[in-house]
C-alpha cells in the first residue's frame, strides 16, 4: 500500500486576501478522491525570552474563536519574504523589541489535513526595546510572562494557541525547564 496521493487535477474555488481554497482530484492505490486544500502564505512565531526566563507574550482578540488569546508574537509572511525577516518584523511591530540573537526552532503545520500553512518557529534573545509599530487595525497588549507560567497555562488548557504551545514546549524541553 502506498501513502502518496497523486494530484490528477486542481481547481481554485475561492481567492481571498489571505487564503485560497482549491479542490484537488487525487489518485491513491488506483482509487480517486477529492481533497479540499486551503492555501496560506505561511507565517512565523517568536519566543522572545529574557535572561531571567521571562517571555514576551501578547493578548489579542481572535475573531474566528471570538475570544482573547495569549500568544507569542507571530504573523503572516509576505510574498517572497524570508521567514527570519518576517520574524524580526513581527517581533518589532507587535512588541517594540528587537533581538541580537536568533535561533531557528523548526516548523509546525497547524492543521495539515486541509491547510498547507507552514509556521516557522524562532527563539530571540538579547532583547532591546525600541518602540512598538502595530499595523492599522491591530490591537493587542504586551506582557512579560515567566516561562514556567506559560508551561502551567499549557498544561491547564488555558493557553490554547497551538503554535505558542509547541514553541514554548520545544524550548522548555531543550533547555531543561519544567513546571516543578
Give yes or no for residue 34 having a pLDDT over 80. Answer: yes
Taking the C-alpha atoms of residue 50 and residue 69, their distance in angstroms, rounded to an integer, is 22
Which string of b and e fits 115-134 if b means at least 16 CB within 10 Å?
ebbbbbbbbbeebeeeeeee
Delimit the domains of the chain by residue range.
Answer: 6-39, 43-174
Question: What is the structure's pLDDT at 179?
Answer: 87
Give yes or no for residue 2 having a pLDDT over 70. Answer: no
Average pLDDT over every residue of 149-169:
98
Question: What is the structure's pLDDT at 1?
Answer: 65
The CATH number for 43-174, chosen from 3.40.640.10, 3.40.50.300, 3.30.70.100, 3.90.79.10, is 3.90.79.10
Give yes or no for residue 88 having a pLDDT over 90. Answer: yes
Claim: this prediction has a pTM higher than 0.85? yes
Which helix H or strand E contains 75, and what residues bound it?
Answer: strand 74-76
**SS3 label, residue 104:** strand
The percentage of the chain sitting over the pLDDT mark of 90, rounded to a whole number, equals 90
**Cβ atoms < 10 Å from Cβ of 178:** 9
Average pLDDT over every residue of 108-137:
94
Taking the C-alpha atoms of residue 149 and residue 131, their distance in angstroms, rounded to an integer, is 26
Amino acid at each position: 500500500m502506498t501513502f502518496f496521493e497523486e494530484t490528477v487535477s486542481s481547481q481554485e474555488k475561492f481567492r481571498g486576501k489571505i487564503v485560497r481554497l482549491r479542490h484537488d482530484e487525487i489518485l491513491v492505490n488506483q482509487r480517486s478522491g477529492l481533497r479540499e486544500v486551503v492555501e496560506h502564505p505561511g507565517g512565523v512565531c517568536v519566543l522572545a525570552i529574557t535572561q531571567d526566563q521571562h517571555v514576551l507574550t501578547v493578548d489579542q482578540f481572535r475573531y474566528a474563536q471570538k475570544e482573547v488569546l495569549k500568544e507569542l508574537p507571530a504573523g503572516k509572511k509576505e510574498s517572497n519574504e524570508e521567514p527570519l525577516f518576517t520574524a524580526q518584523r513581527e517581533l518589532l511591530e507587535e512588541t517594540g523589541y528587537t533581538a541580537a540573537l536568533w535561533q531557528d526552532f523548526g516548523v509546525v503545520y497547524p492543521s495539515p489535513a486541509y491547510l498547507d500553512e507552514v509556521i516557522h518557529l524562532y527563539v530571540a534573545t538579547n532583547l532591546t526595546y525600541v518602540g512598538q509599530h502595530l499595523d492599522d487595525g491591530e490591537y493587542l497588549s504586551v506582557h512579560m510572562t515567566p516561562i514556567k507560567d506559560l508551561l502551567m497555562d499549557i498544561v491547564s488548557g488555558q493557553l490554547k494557541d497551538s503554535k505558542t504551545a509547541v514553541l514554548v514546549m520545544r524550548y522548555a524541553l531543550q533547555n531543561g525547564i519544567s513546571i516543578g
